[in-house]
Amino acid sequence: MNALLRQYGEWECGQDGYPWAWHHSTAWGAYPAGDPRSNPAIKDLVRMEAGHRCVRCGHPYRKGEVSERGEWSPCDEQCDEHPADGVRLVDAAGVVIAEGRGNAIVIKDDLSYVPVEPTHYEAKWRILTVHHLDEDKANCRWWNLASLCQRCHLRMQRAVVMGRPYHYEHSEWFKPYAAGFYAWKYLGEDLGREETLSRLPELLALEHRFTQEALL
């Protein structure tokens, strides 16, 4: 488990509540010499380990490679979510052919030429962020940090309350995070990602088991 991904004390955090390592890492040696991940900040490490994409909707976003101040960024074949609002269809010349309106993507009215074959979709406001699932900025355990685009970040910020009992099936993307949290909450075990994945069914069952026992 990476040495950066842990709970930080108040003395290790700045006035913004984030650990110093959130912005500027000092954890040399976390990876082999020469590895490009050898000295990242925590927020960069999380995005890097997620493949520079949102773990919920799959949208890719690499800092510094997107124009228009990050407002629009291209989708790819791994994107799972293409809501009409906030999506547009673009051709090889970069001309917007169609855009989302309501629940549909419609051809633009002001096109003065016959468009070539569209090449890709672009989505609006999908800048890649890192969300603390329990909203504790000092808790930088891996299972508390999710690489999420802006839209998914806002949705999960409203929907996910880590300490609230949840007895339904978790979304596939969220299962490792929930399992890591349950291992820490119910067993007092701070597990790495690989061990958590190897024990996923057991750990996910802890929520139901312990809350049911509390009712007896």
What letter would DSSP give residue 165? -
- In terms of residues, how long is the chain? 216
* Selection from 130, 125, 149 nearest residue 59 by Cα: 149
State the angle between helix axes of 175-187 and 200-215 in degrees (0 to 180), rounded to the nearest 10: 50
* Selection from 141, 147, 181, 142 nearest residue 59 by Cα: 147
For the chain, 216 residues long, the average pLDDT of each consecutive 10-residue run is: 87 92 67 60 93 94 69 83 67 70 58 53 88 96 96 91 88 96 95 96 89 56
* Selection from 127, 126, 130 nearest residue 46 by Cα: 130
pTM, to two decimals: 0.81
